[in-house]
Structure 1
Amino acid sequence: MPRKQPPPHSPWAAWPTPAKPVERVTLAFDAGDDDAVPDNASAGTRLDDTLFIAGDEHGVIDRLTFDGRNWGRHTVFHLADLLPLKDAEEEADLEGLAAAMIDGEPWLWLTGSHARTRPKPEKFAGETIDLDKLADLKDTRARCLIARIPLVRDALGWAPVAKDDERRAGMLKQTKHGNALMKALARNPLIAPFTEIPAKEGGVDIEGIAVAGNRVALGMRGPVVATHAVLIEATVEADEEGALHLEGAPCKRLLAMEGLGIRDLKRHGDDLLILAGPTTGLSGPVAIYRWTDWANDPPQDARKVRLHRPERLIDLPFGRGEDHPEGLALWGDDAILVICDSPSDTRLHEARKSLVADVFALPA
């Protein structure tokens, strides 16, 4: 008698077959002998002929531009030259980039993870670790970063600058224990318990940013609450000096995505594309979801949480311990570029200073 197959939604049903890329794009980081190819890419965004990429270990933004044939002409921009960072030498842990127009002018928005971190056991000598040292969580202030930076044209493409006429780069003020967003999360009854937990262990870990006017959406890799991912939405205003301020309490929205957390966000017209993947560091299912008409569906009440069910669009391939989809960039109107963290040898070419990313078609 043939073995009975599990129903489609049973715990034993297989994940869908991953989609195949329609194109592979080589990103050339070839500006100089000291340029290193980022093996920890965590976010990306594209504006016309310019692609910005951020890593989760350095306080820089990498820029590549298109010359008609290739993506290269690598330029590095240091955040310390653009923003009044409190801890310029500390790891900013950039986890989200978004290019957005405000009053007809382009801006680059970015976010840090806002995450606490635990020392990795592998970094301790020997196999016996002092309990107090392993329990000592690293401060979050350098990672508590939400900022916007004016973009202007230079000889190669779009470039971030600290000031452009009346436009000024600015950020949420960094305080002793983080910033205004972390202060609000620490007081929120849903999120507060997770602010004391490290990233990748279920604690607060922001990945992805999307902007609609003064409305800023931040994805949360963690926590996942009752199998639902959390999307934070806040109203952000700038003063005359460019500094950013939160207006009112941030809203929380729950997304049903089969237990996956948010790994990146991209606004696509009025829709919101969501890269979803594991909250912890394991190699597991990764998919792109679509929240149709998100831009016209603002949150209504910070004291209530609304449940949303975005459409699962694309199941992405992933490796075991490598090739983890981490960042998105719109690739025209009907495709999206997927950038991988921990790239395999088939993607990362140190000698040629290049990284290969995949392009996937977006269903209508």
Structure 2
Amino acid sequence: MRQIALQFDSNPKDVHEDLSAVCQTPDGCLWVASDETLTLERLSPVGQGVYGAHRLFRLQDIFDIFADPAAEIDIEGLDYAAPYLWLTGSHSIKRKGVKSKRSEAENLERLASYTAEISRYFLARIPLHESGQILEPTAEGAAHLPQTDVGNLLTEALRGDPHLGPFLLANIPGKDNGFDIEGLAFREKRLFLGLRGPVLCGWSLLLELEPFEASPGRLGLKPVDPEGKPYRKHFLDLAGLGIRDLCFDGDDLLILAGPTMDLDGTIRLYRLTGGPNAKQTLIERKPGRLEALFEIPHTEGVDRAEGITRIGSPEDGELLVVYDTPDQKRKPSGDVVLADVFALAANG
């Protein structure tokens, strides 16, 4: 394992303390997102093992649906498939937590309170165009899945699903094993969303979609299963862990897996050889199909691996991992946070 430095120039604490998604584009830049902001961040290679030249892009400047500047998308997944950068919010309900400065009565009331923020039900694409030797986002051609009063087009379709519908209808918060998207990968017209929760009897879920431009600025979902539903489910045996992020390595799908609840626990990388396919719904762990590659170290209360992306050339076999709530030793200065790079070939 080696480390690289991510150097931020504006509002660094709002971003690098809560990194939740990352992907590398063909120009060598890293795109990262925080689960606490309405922005995307681009970092360019500026030296050996250093990414900087930080640029911040406000999603309010690209999409017309964020009237509240304090809205939170809870961005949890990023991937690039030319010419689009794809991103997703968590689509999850948020429960209030216990605060040490509050009274017992106040904290009990907080634990009984939850909110469904419509801004979290966000699934979108943003075109990136060449500007010199670097890719720049543009609002022209950007599109998102239509939102409703209680979610969006995807969650409306899932409300009638026998596996996921009960969790959506019961308004179970994400950190309570409720519905919670935390991974995104795009491959050959198909968008794959990894669910941190729910985990059903130890089986995690991967959703397969085929988005299309239904009208200017709006996405639709094509039927992708024999019954005409706009989604297909893949159940994965990840030893009881939920999906925390996804990325493709050639034809294989790499899966970052970790606890579905709000706790410290095993964080492990899996390889799904050949990726998901329509012929297999229940995917068991077995050699040559779904295998654990290695565990990613974590410390109690900090260094929670949240985002993964392949970096370098296809021959390099390296995986970049970014962390939410980084340990102090991962922050050598106020505007820098260290990310880890693992050699896939050596660990796989």
Shared fold per TM-score greater than 0.5: yes
Q: Which amino acid aligns with 1:345?
A: Q
* Structure index of larger Rg: 1
Task: Please report how far the alpha carbon of residue 315 of structure 1 lies from its aligned counterpart in structure 2 after TM superposition.
Answer: 1.2
TM-score by length of structure 2 reads 0.89
> Are the structure 2 counterparts of residues 211 and 126 from structure 1 closer, same or farther at C-alpha, using a change threshold of 3 Å?
same
> Are the structure 2 counterparts of residues 155 and 122 from structure 1 closer, same or farther at C-alpha, using a change threshold of 3 Å?
farther
Does the alignment pair 1:154 with 2:131? yes
> Are the structure 2 counterparts of residues 79 and 264 from structure 1 closer, same or farther at C-alpha, using a change threshold of 3 Å?
same
**Alpha carbons 2:60, 2:66 under 8 Å: kept:** no
Cα distance in structure 1, aligned partners of 2:183 and 2:303? 18
Does the alignment pair 1:143 with 2:123? no
**Alpha carbons 2:97, 2:107 under 8 Å: kept:** no
Question: What is the aligned partner in structure 1 of residue 205 from structure 2?
Answer: 230
Equivalenced residues, count: 327
Identity among equivalent pairs (%): 38
Question: What is the aligned partner in structure 2 of residue 246 from structure 1?
Answer: 221
Q: Which amino acid aligns with 1:219?
A: G
Question: What is the aligned partner in structure 1 of residue 328 from structure 2?
Answer: 345
Which residues of 2 match residues 199-348 of structure 1 at below 5 A?
A: 199-248=174-223, 249=229, 250-294=231-275, 297-299=276-278, 305-309=281-285, 310-332=290-312, 333=314, 334-348=317-331
Which residues of 2 match residues 102-121 of structure 1 at below 5 A?
A: 106-121=83-98
Which residues of 2 match residues 22-37 of structure 1 at below 5 A?
A: 23-30=2-9, 32=10, 34-36=11-13, 37=15
Task: Please report how far the alpha carbon of residue 281 of structure 1 lies from its aligned counterpart in structure 2 after TM superposition.
Answer: 1.5
Cα distance in structure 2, aligned partners of 1:308 and 1:161? 41
Question: What is the aligned partner in structure 2 of residue 122 from structure 1?
Answer: 99
Task: Please report how far the alpha carbon of residue 211 of structure 1 lies from its aligned counterpart in structure 2 after TM superposition.
Answer: 0.9
Question: What is the aligned partner in structure 1 of residue 22 from structure 2?
Answer: 44
**Alpha carbons 1:57, 1:93 under 8 Å: kept:** yes
Deviating above 4 A after TM superposition, structure 1's stretches of 4 or more consecutive aligned residues are: 130-133
Task: Please report how far the alpha carbon of residue 203 of structure 1 lies from its aligned counterpart in structure 2 after TM superposition.
Answer: 0.2
Question: What is the aligned partner in structure 2 of residue 354 from structure 1?
Answer: 336
Structure 1 vs Structure 2 CA RMSD: 1.9
Cα distance in structure 1, aligned partners of 2:132 and 2:52? 14
Task: Please report how far the alpha carbon of residue 213 of structure 1 lies from its aligned counterpart in structure 2 after TM superposition.
Answer: 2.4
Task: Please report how far the alpha carbon of residue 75 of structure 1 lies from its aligned counterpart in structure 2 after TM superposition.
Answer: 0.5
Structure 1 alignment gaps of length 5 or more: 1-20
Secondary structure of the structure 1 residue equivalent to 2:271: strand
> Are the structure 2 counterparts of residues 87 and 206 from structure 1 closer, same or farther at C-alpha, using a change threshold of 3 Å?
farther
Cα distance in structure 2, aligned partners of 1:138 and 1:111? 19
Task: Please report how far the alpha carbon of residue 240 of structure 1 lies from its aligned counterpart in structure 2 after TM superposition.
Answer: 4.8
Within the candidate set 142, 153, 156, 1:169 is matched to 142
Q: Which amino acid aligns with 2:19?
A: A
**Alpha carbons 1:265, 1:328 under 8 Å: kept:** yes
Task: Please report how far the alpha carbon of residue 124 of structure 1 lies from its aligned counterpart in structure 2 after TM superposition.
Answer: 7.1
Which region of structure 1 is more displaced relative to structure 2, 142-151 or 63-72? 63-72
Cα distance in structure 1, aligned partners of 2:93 and 2:249? 31
Which region of structure 1 is more displaced relative to structure 2, 254-263 or 326-335? 326-335
Task: Please report how far the alpha carbon of residue 123 of structure 1 lies from its aligned counterpart in structure 2 after TM superposition.
Answer: 7.2
Q: Which amino acid aligns with 2:38?
A: G
Task: Please report how far the alpha carbon of residue 161 of structure 1 lies from its aligned counterpart in structure 2 after TM superposition.
Answer: 1.3
TM-score by length of structure 1 reads 0.85
Does the alignment pair 1:60 with 2:46? no
Q: Which amino acid aligns with 2:251?
A: D
Task: Please report how far the alpha carbon of residue 136 of structure 1 lies from its aligned counterpart in structure 2 after TM superposition.
Answer: 2.8
Which region of structure 1 is more displaced relative to structure 2, 120-129 or 46-55? 120-129
**Alpha carbons 1:340, 1:357 under 8 Å: kept:** yes
Cα distance in structure 2, aligned partners of 1:189 and 1:124? 41
Which residues of 2 match residues 9-28 of structure 1 at below 5 A?
A: 21=1, 23-28=2-7
**Alpha carbons 1:65, 1:156 under 8 Å: kept:** no
Structure 2 alignment gaps of length 5 or more: 224-228
Question: What is the aligned partner in structure 2 of residue 17 from structure 1?
Answer: none
Task: Please report how far the alpha carbon of residue 311 of structure 1 lies from its aligned counterpart in structure 2 after TM superposition.
Answer: 1.1
**CA displacement 1:10-30 (0-9 Å, x = unmatched):** xxxxxxxxxxx1x11011113
> Are the structure 2 counterparts of residues 128 and 35 from structure 1 closer, same or farther at C-alpha, using a change threshold of 3 Å?
same
